[in-house]
A and B are shown apart, each in its own frame.
Chain A
């Protein structure tokens, strides 16, 4: 256990070594929140507006909720794994008595804690500047269900990133391109980070809901808002758990096969 604590510590220190980088990344996040905030607050300018099944309070809570959930779920260092595989830096870990998955999960947690503390600060700041109507969930059961969804989302995102990072085992040149596609295009739009998925036409909704992506942002926030409850809530949790189990099994198979073709590039 101590080794993973040490990894946690050094990851934290490294994040601070890239201070400017980190600040710019947080700045980007704030900007993104402001953009979506103003967009939706214009759409729902009239407090009586009801559109897509949302009113002003709920949509703005959604936007602010994204800010926190994003920081927990989508901030992950496992992005770098694909690069490790492509350049052969993976070798450095393979020759050491550590578990590579646990190594990156530990680094992810370090990154999440750092990002979350900044997000909470930004949240508070923006909250007092913009004074949006915000829906505070007071039902403790719902809140616990929300936390469970967050944990599942963290695991899911970790697995998705790792699966994606296995592509360079077979196509080393694809490292960055596939990440861009998935992390920027797919994750941003399909996870619900930009807009709630249930504002889309039915057909698109059904397609997106059949993928694991909405379980990253969309469902946790829906659960927080109390829009999913009872059997539907149980269903959401069960599907998320199944996704985690399935992706975990797939990842193990893929990784086993990947290591066999791994060429430990770079001399």
Chain B
């Protein structure tokens, strides 16, 4: 098997009933519903090799989640060819299901009112995991994710970050060969995000698992994905190495600073391109390689209260990639 995932000419349309606002509109749509076809995926194609970690990025509603759901067999493709681990996902063959996992940042599989260990036990039975393997996997996952002590707490009492780690553990007990992660870091604080990212990275390396991850958090991709697929409005805009994308479209970093007074504010131009200047806030774009130097220069020569270095928002990278696409 040289391809873990093959997608060829995938189309997915949804029928959506349009509703006009208000009571009259609701009544009207009851009598003669107006249907509209939403083209969620417009003939996309890509292939992923076993062991690859691929980031799927794009704005909300671009079709990222639709792709993941189709690959895991939840959605019926309108048109096109989909194959995962040489199975047709839609057939939902138990042998196929035993080798995959889908984690959705905003959907939980854990039993809300019971401790997480109960869900783990249930998954052990569902996936036919032998006791010895289960014990080992559980130990390893709980150590890596640092959740050993929380397993006996009812899920509803866990924090979002703790719950997300439990979700990951529940989804990985059967050691899936293919892992679909939908916004795994959504709503988490920075430390929790980092923990999840480290874990995904390790899991990919250690087990050679194929991982497809969607996100609109640029940091997820910087730290994880060597390959990215940018999807917008149901089309693939870019498919290739992450570094190339960054060097092509995200040549700059953004320094945001808060100044304590307005002295020599005009000198700021020497640091980089000023994107916004509304005292006390200032936003400067600097070349990627020079970001650290620029920041220390700023700190030395200006009355800075607070300073952050950020990536260009993902939307901007996509916009740039999109414009590049049109020029070709």
Give complex CA distance A173, B2 in Å: 44
Does B293 touch A at the CB level, under 8 Å? no
Q: How far is the CB of A72 from chain B (nearest CB, A)?
A: 25
Interface size of A as a range: 20 to 34
Secondary structure at the B interface, as helix, strand, loop or mixed, is mixed
Does the CB pair B182–A267 fall under 8 Å? yes
Does A203 touch B at the CB level, under 8 Å? no
Cross-interface CB contact of B125 among A5, A17, A94, A266, cutoff 8 Å? A5
Interface flags for A1-37 (1: CB within 8 Å of B; 0: not) read 0110111001001100110000000000000000000
Does the CB pair A264–B74 fall under 8 Å? yes
Give complex CA distance A262, B114 in Å: 28
CB-nearest residue of chain B relative to A171? Answer: B17
Does the CB pair B125–A6 fall under 8 Å? yes
Report chain A residues within 8 Å CB of B254: none
Does A198 touch B at the CB level, under 8 Å? no
Q: How far is the CB of B77 from chain A (nearest CB, A)?
A: 10
Does B122 touch A at the CB level, under 8 Å? yes
Give complex CA distance A17, B157 in Å: 13
Q: How far is the CB of A103 from chain B (nearest CB, A)?
A: 9
Does A89 touch B at the CB level, under 8 Å? yes
Does the CB pair A14–B102 fall under 8 Å? no
Q: How far is the CB of A83 from chain B (nearest CB, A)?
A: 13
Does the CB pair A94–B106 fall under 8 Å? no
Does the CB pair A97–B107 fall under 8 Å? no
Known A3-B128, A6-B121, A96-B97; judge A266-B114 contact (CB<8 A). Answer: no
Does the CB pair B75–A17 fall under 8 Å? no
CB-nearest residue of chain A relative to B94? Answer: A97
Report chain B residues within 8 Å CB of A267: 65, 104-107, 182-183
Give complex CA distance A88, B108 in Å: 11
Does A91 touch B at the CB level, under 8 Å? yes
Cross-interface CB contact of A262 among B74, B104, B105, cutoff 8 Å? B74
Does the CB pair B125–A2 fall under 8 Å? yes
Does the CB pair B125–A18 fall under 8 Å? no
Does B98 touch A at the CB level, under 8 Å? yes
Does A95 touch B at the CB level, under 8 Å? yes
Does the CB pair B94–A95 fall under 8 Å? no
Report chain A residues within 8 Å CB of B28: none
| Chain A 93-116 residues near chain B, CB threshold 8 A | 94-98
Does the CB pair A18–B113 fall under 8 Å? yes
Report chain B residues within 8 Å CB of A14: 111, 113-114
CB-nearest residue of chain B relative to A7? Answer: B122
Does the CB pair A94–B94 fall under 8 Å? no
Does B34 touch A at the CB level, under 8 Å? no
Report chain B residues within 8 Å CB of A189: none
CB-nearest residue of chain B relative to A267? Answer: B106
CB-nearest residue of chain A relative to B113? Answer: A17
Report chain B residues within 8 Å CB of A2: 125
Does the CB pair A262–B107 fall under 8 Å? no
Q: Can you list 10 residue pairs at the A/B interface with Cβ under 8 Å?
A: A3-B125, A5-B125, A13-B114, A14-B111, A92-B107, A94-B73, A95-B101, A98-B126, A263-B75, A267-B104
> 9 shortest A-B CB distances, which residue pairs?
A6-B125, A97-B94, A17-B113, A3-B125, A97-B97, A260-B76, A264-B74, A92-B109, A3-B126
